[in-house]
Amino acid sequence: MNRNFKKGVKEAIPIFLGYYSIAMTFGIIAKTVGLSGVYAVLMSMTNFTGATQFIAVNMVTGGANISNILITTFMINARYLLMSFSFSNKLPKNLNIKTKLMIPFGISDEVFVLGMTKEKLDINFVYGSQAISYLGWVTGTITGVLLANFIPKSISEATTIAIYIMFLGLLLPVIKNSKKIAIVTGIAMILSSLFYYIPILNRIIGNWRIIITILITSSIGAILFPIEKSEEML
């Protein structure tokens, strides 16, 4: 097997471990809130995204309509436009069309971060890192779906909070390190609450609460607290 491919696999082993664990949680949560285990695995296989898979499950069980969920997914993942842009700048020029179609599928958050630590990217290295990461994500989901069968019925009622804990797990580590993101997240929570509790707003905005909150909050953030070059992740 190609040497660079093996190097990619080796360097992405930490990603495999992280993904396996998070995907297992995804599989367990999806099953315990009543969704099909097969579909959960299918989602991991076709989407290969982290937070948005949890968010999608949350919105489906919350009764949001499909266009709402897809618009939210689009917004949250619009950042991949920038990430792919930066990532592809490190790839060799003149890739063949098959490569151009295959590589983007595997540009997940952690694969992106690993790629950005390199000056230039070798195609086989990228494939290697993507393969092992994808393997972790899918097998983790399968494991979680299977394990969920062993959760006693009595505990099932208590699992509804699990998704929100995942959200907290995604937020807290970042908030700890970035005051700007902490403020923006706080604004989002306040707006979301206003649209939820104030009757007139709730009636007018209804299902669009999340989307409108995201748009307003991100705009406020981008205008008042623009992210400096040094703080950039993208």
Partner 1 sequence: MNRKFLLVIIGSALINYLLRAMPVIFKGKKEPSNFVKSFLEYIPYAALGALFFPDILYSTKNIFISIGASIFAGILIIKRQNMLLIVIGTILFVFLTGLNV
| Distance of closest approach, residue 113 Cβ to partner 1, in angstroms | 14
| Distance of closest approach, residue 224 Cβ to partner 1, in angstroms | 10
* Nearer residue to partner 1 within complex by CB, 3 or 234: 234
Q: Is 132 in the site for partner 1 (CB under 8 A)?
A: no
Distance CA 51, CA 31 (A): 17
Q: Show Cβ contacts of residue 130 under 8 Å, excluding neighbours closer than 6 positions.
A: 8, 12, 103, 105, 106, 107, 111
Q: Which residues of 216-233 are buried (b: 16+ CB within 10 A; e: fewer)?
A: ebeeebeeeeeeeeeeee
Q: Show Cβ contacts of residue 9 under 8 Å, excluding neighbours closer than 6 positions.
A: 128, 129, 131, 132
Q: Is 232 in the site for partner 1 (CB under 8 A)?
A: yes
HSE-up (13 A, CA, CB side) for residue 65: 5
Residues 147-166 that bind partner 1 (CB under 8 A): 154-155, 157-166
Which residue of 55, 114, 126, 145 would you call a contact of partner 1, by CB under 8 A? Answer: 55
* Nearer residue to partner 1 within complex by CB, 77 or 124: 77
Count of other CB atoms within 10 angstroms of residue 114? 21
Tell me if residue 86 falls in helix, strand or coil. Answer: helix
Q: Binding pattern to partner 1, positions 29-48, x when CB under 8 A? A: x----xxx--x--xx--xxx
| Distance of closest approach, residue 200 Cβ to partner 1, in angstroms | 17
| Distance of closest approach, residue 32 Cβ to partner 1, in angstroms | 9
Q: Is 124 in the site for partner 1 (CB under 8 A)?
A: no
Token pair 């306040």: residue: 190
* Nearer residue to partner 1 within complex by CB, 1 or 120: 120
Count of other CB atoms within 10 angstroms of residue 53? 23
Q: Is 66 in the site for partner 1 (CB under 8 A)?
A: yes
Helix axes 37-47, 51-61, angle to 10 degrees: 140
Which residue of 3, 6, 105, 177 would you call a contact of partner 1, by CB under 8 A? Answer: 105
Q: Is 207 in the site for partner 1 (CB under 8 A)?
A: no
Q: Is 115 in the site for partner 1 (CB under 8 A)?
A: no
Using the contact rule CB under 8 A, the part of the chain among 3-11, 100-108, 116-124, 129-137 near partner 1 is: 100-108
